[in-house]
Structure formats: structure tokens, C-alpha cells
Chains A and B, each alone.
Chain A
Amino acid sequence: MITPVHYMLLSAALFIIGVVGVMVRKNIIIIFMSIELILNAVNINLVAFSAQLQNGIGQVFAIFVIAVAAAEAAVGLGIILAFYRNKETINIDEMNLMRS
């Protein structure tokens, strides 16, 4: 029997994979994709509880999360492009213009 606990564990595992990706990779595109993974983990959680509670509110929030993710991806990738045009790199370790 699959309980919400299974979904929560799956979600937590996916979240941690995303977190690890954010923490260890230096390719900023992959970091962005890791963030998408984190958001998907959240969505899984929301939808699981939506199914558990027998109402659609969780799915509605998941839709909002998707909308935010889309916006974030669009703006973030735009920033990456602009940065790449200036610095010829997408290495996050070289994105330290604000460091004194």
C-alpha cells in the first residue's frame, strides 16, 4: 500500500538530489536544472497531499509553482545569456563581480 509517507520520502530524496546538484556543480545551467528538480519535489509533495485530502487545492498550488518555475527559468536563462555574452563563461565560480 502506497501511503503519503512514500511520496514524502520520494519527494525528500528528489529534493536532496536537487540540493546536492545546486551545491556541487559549477555549471550554472545544471544548477538551474537542479532547482527545477527541487521544484518538482515540492510539486510531488503537493499533489500527494492533494490526493490524500481529496481536494484540488494542492494541484492548484502545483500549477502556481509551475508558473513560477517557468518565469524563473525564462528570466534566469536570460541572465545566463547576458552574462555569457559579457564574460564568455557560465562558471558560477567566476560570477563574483560583486566581491570586493
Chain B
Amino acid sequence: MKYIWLIPLLPGLGALVNGVVGIRAFSRKASGLLACATMTVALGLSLAAFWQLLALPTGARAYDVVIAQWIPKIPLATRNGFAAFEVPWGFRLDPLSGMMLLVVTGIGLLIHVYSTAYMADEPRGGVARFFCYLNLFCFFMLMLVLGNNFLVMFVGWEGVGLCSYLLIGYWYEKKSAADAGKKAFITNRIGDWGFVLGVFLVYYTFGTFDFRAVQNAAAAMPIETHFGVLSAICLLLFVGAIGKSAQIPLYVWLPDAMEGPTPVSALIHAATMVTAGVYMVGRNAVLFSHAPMVMEIVAIVGVLTALMAASIGLVQYDIKRVLAYSTVSQLGYMFTAMGVGAFSAGAFHLMTHAFFKALLFLGSGSVIHAVAGEQDMRHMGGLKKYQPVTFATMMIGTLSIAGIVPLAGFFSKDEILSRAFLANKAVWVIAVLTAFMTAFYMFRLMSMTFFGNYRGPAWETTGHGAAALAATHGVKHPADPHAHGRAQRSDHEVTHGPAEPHDETGKDDHAHAQGHGPWHGPHESPAAMTYPLQALAVGAIIAGFVGIPAALGGGNTIEKFLEPSFTAAAASETAGAEVRPRTDATEEHETAHVSAAVEIGLMAFSVLVALAGISLAYKVYVTSPEISEQLAERWAGAHRLLLNKYYVDELYNGTIIAGTMAGGRKLWTFDRNVVDGAVNGTSWLTVISSWFSGLTDRTVVDGLVNFIGWIVQEGSLLFRRFQTGLVQNYALLMLFGIFAFVSIYLFVR
């Protein structure tokens, strides 16, 4: 456990080596192996640290390591006089960060392995670059997770944003990818602004950055009934979380982030980075539970995001976009949990979601890989027989996210639903509706992809002539642009996928050697891709068992395990001596499970809802596909609305972006007319006044000077005659002086 600081450092080192040396020197395999090796060691260390953490008694499960001082002590003004501003490179292992640690390193490792196969077609330096970014991401993410104060967390927070930008724009030759990266970065920046302000306010209020000190200080403060300083802090931090975790209104970047390679989507935009906001809220659970107003806002934002994203997901055709909206929706779920005070339920859902969403993304990557970069589900179908492993694992993931009984998603989602039911019925209703939609769109995805008949283009079974290549490339530009709608036009560009770079670089020989040159039809992916799928499928099944609620005879282990991270004094060694402040979390905890019967009823209901969604989707998309078209026609307006994602992007374009640009143009006009005019006017005035002063100078001043000179010249006519340059004439003057003095003596005395 002493070496937890090595956990982030190892991927960082891998990134350094891959970035500095690898891009030029390493082969694909070497860079992949290096990245995987660092992650493997990190995972091993994490497991060991986690094991040691479990061995500690419940109250003392927190461990701090400070490896160096970052910012030495500076006295800085706070609300209560001066405090020492100091920031150590400190890492903390406690139940919450331990769980996140395992999620990040575990899923990170699986995705690294997956990427070695998925990115195999990239040019050599590109692979090293990819793994460099991926390792760098892990480094920052682990920093974020392990940091024991706000600033170290902020380093990770910004770092993952940077890596997200780099990885979304990995295919930077493609304008849509570069734009998506920029969009993600800028949108995140808005959130980071809030986060930074929150951190400043934290320092100003508490005089420290350390999570534990802040928690203890906050726990001593009364719960705010009005909007006070804690509420302000929480609101600002939540703005940060909104940006990072893609909630309303800053969620727009996440669907576009699907421009990145699929493993990136799985790791960053499903499993880890986007959950950083949730993690951060959980990290500051004590603060948030002291600000009930902000908690309400969190819950409302979360549940609305869940509903909205799920509804958009109902009609999307791009397989990755469906998953992206699903991710947004599930993140909304997590925030709902946080908002109703069920911090451990939110964190639990975070963990299970990491498993099944990473599984689904990797599965979709496998599918895309199989159909040569196609992402439009209307051109898939019937892939079950070509990709049995992918189908089976994705089915597990789908059932898990839908919340079918023994799978991971069931327990976590049900926990959130029951807590929401206790807290607020309206929230619960919306959450259940979202659960229904989730089941529906996920099964729609499965149906369109794996069931039914294959709808994609034909493929050559023999040889690789020009026709085969034409067919391959023809896939990428379906001949029916009208069906997609305007908003999805960018999706055509998305469909280039991983097949593109070798097309562009023209390394066909090499591509043939890899066996990916001409497309031989849908096929199962290589083992390096399917093994992570299977591992994640196992995770998606069993991850929920740590959180079997009491109503079903389980101990809800995860909640008890995580509980200390969400209360203030539990983390400190003197827990027994202090009066333990009662927080919302503990109160909720005591009242949460009053009625086992109600809870079982709720569970049954949610399962029924999920099953209803699944069966409806099966009916609509498998048994009688024409219904979907009829539905789309009957509700054409709603359909179009959803297809265009509620026109939020257009709204932002129309208001904020256009407003900014119009404002910029106004400022430019102002600049040109008023400022430039003022400058020009000033210079004109200067010219005029200088002309006058020049005139004055020439006439008055010069005249005066010349006049004085003239006086001197004329007046010197007399004295000039004495200046002969002859010594003896000067002596004569002296003699004259003597004569004068003697005369004075003679006549005056």
C-alpha cells in the first residue's frame, strides 16, 4: 500500500517511453506490449493495495501517501484569516478510491489488450501514439482517483480532459474528429471553470485542499437551509461534474466524442473519465449532503439527463451514438443517485456501469470491425451467426444494462430506483420511464445488429479485385442520404473508422499481409478482442453480487464498504473519540430499507418494466419490422425531434455560438469604428496640434533664439576685438588693470 503512488506513475512512464521513443522506434507489437505491461503491473499493485485495504478494520480504511511537496507553504488569505497554502503530491487509498482504482486499472488493462488488436491496422507510429495517449490517460485518471486533495485531483481532472481531446481527435486528418475533439475540450472547459472556482472557494472557506480536512470541517458546519457558502461550493463543483460527466446542458460533446477509436469510447467515454464527475461528487459527499438545495439540483439534472438521453437513444441509427446516449443516460442515473443522497448506490452503479458499458462499447467495436467500419445499424443485421462470441457477450451486457435479475445492472439500478422512490416519487417515475427506454433502445440495438437478415453490402468471396475494393468503399457512403436526416450527415464521415488510414497511406501490401485488405464479409474478431469481451461479460454478471440488497438476503457489502468514504469522521483515526456528525447519507441509510416488501415490489416492477421494454423492442424490430416505420410515420414530428437530438446542437449553434460570433463581430465593428476612430481622431488631433506647435516653434521660439543670438553677435563686436589670440595683448589688459587699480589708489585714497 506504500507504493500506491507507483500505480499512476507506471502508465505515465509507459506513456513517456511510448511518446518519446515509441513513435519513431517501436513496432506495433512493442508499443502495445509496453502499454499493456504497465497496466498489468498497475493492476497488480492495485489489487495488492486493495487487498491490504480490505484487511484493515472498517473504520480505518484510509491510507495516505505523500511523495513530495508540490507547492511549499505560502500564507494566503482565507475567510478566517491566513492559512498556509500548501499542496503535497499526496495520494489516498480509501474504499471509494480503491473501487475506482480497480475499475480504472482493470477495465483499462482489458481495453489496452483489446486495442492491440483493434488498432492493428494503424500505421506504426500511430499505434505508439495511440498507446501513449491511452497510457497517459490512465496516468491522469489514476491521479484523479488517488489524489488526496483538490489540486492533485484537478491535475488529473485536466489531464484526462486533455487525453480525451487527444484521443477523440486521434484521426486528426478527419475534420469531424478534430472538431469533435475541440468540442469536447471546450465544453469540458466550461465545466472546469466551475470546478476551479469551486476549488478556490473551498480554499477560501476552509483554508485547505485536503479532502479529509475539508470533510471534517464541513461536517462541523450546519446543514444549510438557505443558499450558503457550502451550497455555492457544491454548485460550482457540480458545474465541473456536469462538464466532465456530460449532463444537461453540457452533454453535447459526448455523442460527438464517438469520433474517437472505439476502445477510447469504451475506456474514456463510458467507463472512467465521464464517471469522474460522479466520483468527484461522491468524494465530496459530506459537502453535498450539507447543501440539500444543490442535492435537489443534482437529482433533477441527473434524472432529466437520463430521460432526455434515453429518448434520443431510441431513434439513433449509429451504433456508437446509441451507446453514447445510453452512457449519458446512465450517468444521469448516477447523478440521480447522488442527488437523492444514495452516494454508495451511485458509486455502485458507476462500477457496474463501467463493466457493462465498456463491454457494450467493445462489442460494438467488434461489430464495426467485422463490417469494415460501418457504424449505421441499418446496414447491419443478422450478425449473430458471424459473431457468436460478440453476440453472446453483448447480450449479457444488454441484459445487464436493462436490469434483468441476476446481472450487475439490476442490483445497482434497482438500488438507485428504490432510493429514488423513497426520496421523491416524481424522480422515481422518470427513472423508471428511463429504465424502460433503456431496455427498449438497447434491445433495439441488439435486434438491428444481430437479429434479422443481413442488410449490408455484398462482399467478394474470392480474390481481391477492383470490384471488391469498390464494394468495400461503397459501404462507407450509402446511396440514401435523405434517410439519415440532416443532423446525421456527419455520421458518414464517422463510418470511415479504423479502415481508413491504411487506405490513405496506400500501404495495401502491408494490409494484405495483416489479412484486412479486401473485406471478406463479417467475421468474428481476433482473440485479443474477444477475450476482453468475455472478461467484461463475466464482470457484468458478477459485479452486482457485491451489492445484493438486504431485501434479497444479501448484505449489500458494497454499500457498507463504501460508506466510510461518504461520511466525515469515519476516515479519521479518532473516529471513536469524536461525536460523529450525522449527515444526510447516514440518515438516509437508516431509513432506506424500512420496508423489504416495498423494495421487493419495486424490484419486481423494474424488472417487469425492463422486460416490457425488451419485448416491445423485439416485437417492433425482429418479429414485425414494419411497425417501426409506421410508428415513425405516425409520430413523425416526435421522431424527427428525437433523431435530431432535440435540436440541442442547433440550439447551441443558434444561441451561444452564433451569439458569441455575433458578439465578436459587434466587438470587431466597435473596434473598427469607435476604437480605430478614436485612435485615428487622436492622431489627427496630434497632427493638427503639432502643425500649430511647429508654427509656433518656427516663429516664436526660433525668433527668440535668433534674436538672442543677434544681440550677442552685435554686442560682441566690441569684445571680439580683444580676442586676438595674442598673449601679449592679454598681458596688456592685465597691465591696464594694474593701471586702473593704481589710479584708483592714487586718486581715491
Contact = CB atoms under 8 A, between A and B. Distances in A.
B731 A22 contact: yes
B630 interface: no
B717 interface: no
A32 to B, nearest CB: 12
B726 interface: yes
A23 B725 contact: no
B728 A99 contact: no
Nearest to A22: B731
A22 B728 contact: yes
Contacts of A54: none
Interface residues of B, number: 9
A33 B724 CA distance: 24
B726 A93 contact: yes
A19 interface: yes
Contact of A19 (B725, B726, B727, B735): B735
Contacts of B731: 22-23
Interface string A20-56: 0011000000000000000000000000000000000
Contacts of A19: 735
Contacts of A98: 725
B729 to A, nearest CB: 10
B725 A99 contact: yes
Interface string B708-749: 000000000000000111111001100100000000000000
Interface string A62-100: 000000000000000000000000000000110110111
A96 B728 contact: no
Contacts of A96: 725-726
Contacts of B727: 92, 95
A23 B739 CA distance: 14
A92 B724 CA distance: 13
Contacts of A92: 726-728
A98 B725 CA distance: 7
A23 B727 CA distance: 9
Nearest to B729: A23
Contacts of B726: 92-93, 96
A19 B731 CA distance: 9
A98 B726 CA distance: 10
B742 to A, nearest CB: 10
B741 to A, nearest CB: 14
Contacts of A100: 725
A99 to B, nearest CB: 3
A98 B724 CA distance: 10
B735 A23 contact: yes
A19 B724 CA distance: 20
Contact of A23 (B723, B724, B732): B732
A25 to B, nearest CB: 9
Nearest to B727: A92
Nearest to B735: A19
A19 B728 CA distance: 10
Contacts of B735: 19, 23
A99 B724 contact: yes
A49 B167 CA distance: 114
Contacts of A93: 726
A23 B728 CA distance: 6
B244 to A, nearest CB: 87
A22 B733 CA distance: 12
A95 B724 CA distance: 11
A5 to B, nearest CB: 15
Nearest to A26: B728
Contacts of B728: 22-23, 92
A6 to B, nearest CB: 19
A94 B531 CA distance: 114
Interface in B394-445: none
Nearest to B742: A12
Nearest to A24: B728
A24 B566 CA distance: 118
A33 B317 CA distance: 124
A21 to B, nearest CB: 11
A80 to B, nearest CB: 13
A22 B723 CA distance: 18
B723 to A, nearest CB: 8
A99 B720 CA distance: 11
A52 B723 CA distance: 43
A37 to B, nearest CB: 14
A98 B729 CA distance: 14
A78 B732 CA distance: 24
Contacts of A95: 727
A70 B196 CA distance: 90
A22 B726 CA distance: 12
A100 B728 CA distance: 17
A4 B716 CA distance: 46
B737 to A, nearest CB: 12
A98 B723 CA distance: 10
B739 to A, nearest CB: 10
A22 B735 CA distance: 10
A41 B728 CA distance: 20
A96 B731 CA distance: 14
A81 B731 CA distance: 22
Nearest to A23: B728
A79 B140 CA distance: 87
Contacts of B724: 99
Interface string B122-136: 000000000000000
A92 B725 CA distance: 10
A98 B730 CA distance: 13
B612 to A, nearest CB: 118
Contacts of A99: 723-725
B261 to A, nearest CB: 91
Nearest to A28: B727
Contacts of B725: 96, 98-100
Nearest to B728: A23
A89 to B, nearest CB: 14
A100 B727 CA distance: 14
A19 to B, nearest CB: 6
Interface in B336-376: none
Nearest to A92: B727
B307 to A, nearest CB: 103
A95 B728 CA distance: 11
A14 to B, nearest CB: 15
A95 B735 CA distance: 20
Contacts of A22: 728, 731
A76 to B, nearest CB: 12
A92 B729 CA distance: 11
Nearest to A25: B728
A100 B723 CA distance: 9
A23 B723 CA distance: 17
Interface of B: 723-728, 731-732, 735
19 contacts: A19-B735, A22-B728, A22-B731, A23-B728, A23-B731, A23-B732, A23-B735, A92-B726, A92-B727, A92-B728, A93-B726, A95-B727, A96-B725, A96-B726, A98-B725, A99-B723, A99-B724, A99-B725, A100-B725
Given A23-B728, A23-B732, 8 more contacts: A23-B731, A23-B735, A92-B727, A96-B725, A99-B723, A99-B724, A99-B725, A100-B725
Minimum-distance CB pairs A-B, first 3: A99-B725, A96-B725, A92-B727
